[in-house]
Amino acid sequence: MPGPDDTEMEWWDALLADMRAEAAAYEDEGWETLELHPGDVTARDGSVEDLGLDVLVPDNEFADLEAALADGVEGYEVLRSTAGHYVALLVVVEAAGGRAVFVPAYYSGRDDAAATLLRKATEAGELTLILRTLTDDRVELALDDPELLVPDGD
């Protein structure tokens, strides 16, 4: 029998299904795609560590991520939904050379660090998306419209 945490996290499977569907739509339009499968996502409010949304990327996907973004980023979009107290995000990074990287992420509306991060990012007009491995190899992307990560009305 699933416990309360299992039921609450069912939206993660739905987010990954949405990612696959979005990636397929991009592929149909001729894009080369990379779907990331984070091990963890953490809101960093700058009090102890970096300021940004920290996404732990598996080592076996990181080299492909670096290659996909090697020629620069041309834009991004954020698809957002809410599930209970979670905000589910799919960040689609459109890179030069017809490549698109799909980054599923989330934060809890009950997380003080997430609230502080979003407030600081909104005030600064920029949120850093930190894509890193356990050994702290990283790619950082500046998202210049942090309001895209905030649910309507918040």
pLDDT of residue 51: 87
pLDDT of residue 8: 57
pLDDT of residue 113: 92
- Tens digits of pLDDT across the chain (154 residues): 233 444 557 889 999 999 999 999 999 999 999 999 999 999 999 877 788 999 999 999 999 999 999 999 999 999 999 988 899 999 999 999 999 999 999 999 899 999 999 999 999 999 999 999 999 999 999 999 999 988 764 5
Distance CA 77, CA 26 (A): 13
- pTM of the prediction? 0.90
> Which residue bears the tokens 């698109």?
100
Phi then psi for residue 62, to 5 deg, are -70, -40
Distance CA 36, CA 33 (A): 10
